[in-house]
Amino acid sequence: MPSRRYVYQGRILNLAIEDGFEIVEHDHAVAILAERNGKLLFVRQHRPAVGGSTLELPAGLIHPGETPQEAALRELAEEAQLSGELEFLNSFYVSPGFCDEKVFLFRASNLQPAQGTPDPDEEISVEWHDPKEVYRAAQAGKEQISAPAMAGILYYLLETTHSSL
Amino acid sequence: MPSRRYVYQGRILNLAIEDGFEIVEHDHAVAILAERNGKLLFVRQHRPAVGGSTLELPAGLIHPGETPQEAALRELAEEAQLSGELEFLNSFYVSPGFCDEKVFLFRASNLQPAQGTPDPDEEISVEWHDPKEVYRAAQAGKEQISAPAMAGILYYLLETTHSSL
């Protein structure tokens, strides 16, 4: 077992060196794909890391003691004031070359209003968009989207062509 | 302009604090979707950050002075000893809540043999897999895949159902 030397231990991430590799430890996360009348649910927010605003799926970190499913329900309520039935779609590592963050992607259906408020350090705008329009805007560099948003858009388009996975 | 205080400046990433946010600065990257006889090109490698092996698309960081297209051609040669015609598909931020890494995803066609050797610190196995099998293996937790692999699998399945984007 190689030893991991910590350079920084912080609020949402740790930075360590192991065998010369720079490694960021980061909690796992969830993202939720939700649709209404052919439009997908996105949140737009300013992201200091990126230096601009992004269009993302509702998403967030899994809190200690939560299952991915519980985290997804909480984030959907906090960010979009919605609830629904969740189906687990898949999971992936966001950037396994340096980071252990894994995202669990869910599909929400039978959407209903729910109580919830965003984190105080997040200013979020909830937006419903045609998935092909967002795909093309990202392709043209007019929108900046997240990895779960890309996966969600492609999954939804695949689902609506009735191909089985 | 908020000030960014650096905690660590390293080989492939920097860690900074800005307005209380922990931010990882990381080079942009490329990933390449390539297909042969209905199977997609994957690379399997041990990833210290993840503590295990992943199945990913050929991918890597954009070197200084390179265009994303040039980086994609170089990575495809280095990791899979292949060349091809590249089409830009789209780009996305891997985890914009804390990191500025953006991935440019390309589709390679008309594949041909090319000269190239992997980085000495990478032990890579080149594998061709049915995209639905990899999707289902990831869903079942039997394979760990990357965000570009997830996007590439979904894009390819969408493409082969002949839906237009």
Q: So what's the ipTM on this one?
A: 0.96
CA distance A65 to chain B (A): 20
Report the phi/psi class of residue A121: left, alpha or beta, with left for phi > 0 and alpha for psi in -120 to 50: alpha
Distance between CA atoms of B156 and A110, rounded to whole angstroms? 29
pLDDT for A119 equals 77
Q: Which of B42, B82, B161 is nearest to A92 (CA)?
A: B42
Q: What residues of A are in contact with residue B15 (Cβ under 8 Å)? A: 7-8, 15, 24
The pLDDT-based confidence of B161 (bands split at 50, 70, 90) is confident
Q: For residue B25, what is the nearest residue in chain A, using CA coordinates?
A: A49
Answer yes or no: is pLDDT of B18 > 70.
yes
pLDDT for B97 equals 96
Q: Which of A98, A63, A138 is nearest to B61 (CA)?
A: A98
For chain B, the residue count is 165
What's the mean pLDDT in B121-143?
94
pLDDT for B118 equals 78
CA distance A132 to chain B (A): 6
Q: For residue A8, what is the nearest residue in chain B, using CA coordinates?
A: B7
Answer yes or no: is pLDDT of B164 > 70.
no
The pLDDT-based confidence of B1 (bands split at 50, 70, 90) is low
pLDDT for B88 equals 98
Answer yes or no: is pLDDT of A24 > 80.
yes
Q: Is pLDDT larger for residue B122 or for residue A97? A: A97
How high is the mean pLDDT of chain B?
95
Q: What are phi and psi of B58, to 5 degrees?
A: -55, 130
Tell me if B55 sits within 8 A of B134, measured CB to CB.
yes
Residue B64 is encoded by which pair of tokens?
Answer: 């200084």
Answer yes or no: is pLDDT of A105 > 80.
yes
How high is the mean pLDDT of chain A?
95
Report the percent of chain B where pLDDT is more than 90.
Answer: 90
pLDDT for A131 equals 97
pLDDT for A158 equals 94
At B60-87, the pLDDT tens digits run 999 999 999 999 999 999 999 999 999 9
pLDDT for A5 equals 96
The pLDDT-based confidence of A1 (bands split at 50, 70, 90) is low
At A29-77, the pLDDT tens digits run 999 999 999 999 999 999 999 999 999 999 999 999 999 999 999 999 9
The pLDDT-based confidence of B90 (bands split at 50, 70, 90) is very high
pLDDT for A123 equals 84
CA distance A11 to chain B (A): 8
Chain A interface includes B161 (CB < 8 A): yes
What's the mean pLDDT in A115-141?
91
Answer yes or no: is pLDDT of B123 > 90.
no
Q: pTM value?
A: 0.96
Of residues B2, B93, B158, nearest to A54 (C-beta): B93
Of residues A98, A149, A161, nearest to B161 (C-beta): A161
B27-160: CATH superfamily: Nucleoside Triphosphate Pyrophosphohydrolase (3.90.79.10)
Of residues B12, B47, B136, nearest to A96 (C-beta): B47
What's the mean pLDDT in A126-135?
97
For chain A, the residue count is 165
Pick the residue of B88, B90, B123 with the most A CBs within 10 A to test the interface with A by mutation: B90
Beta carbons of B95 and A96 less than 8 Å apart: no
CA distance A9 to chain B (A): 11
At A131-164, the pLDDT tens digits run 999 999 999 999 999 999 999 999 999 999 877 6
Q: Which of A35, A32, A30, A31 is nearest to A110 (CA)?
A: A35
Tell me if residue A138 falls in helix, strand or coil: helix
Report the phi/psi class of residue B111: left, alpha or beta, with left for phi > 0 and alpha for psi in -120 to 50: beta
Chain A interface includes B126 (CB < 8 A): no
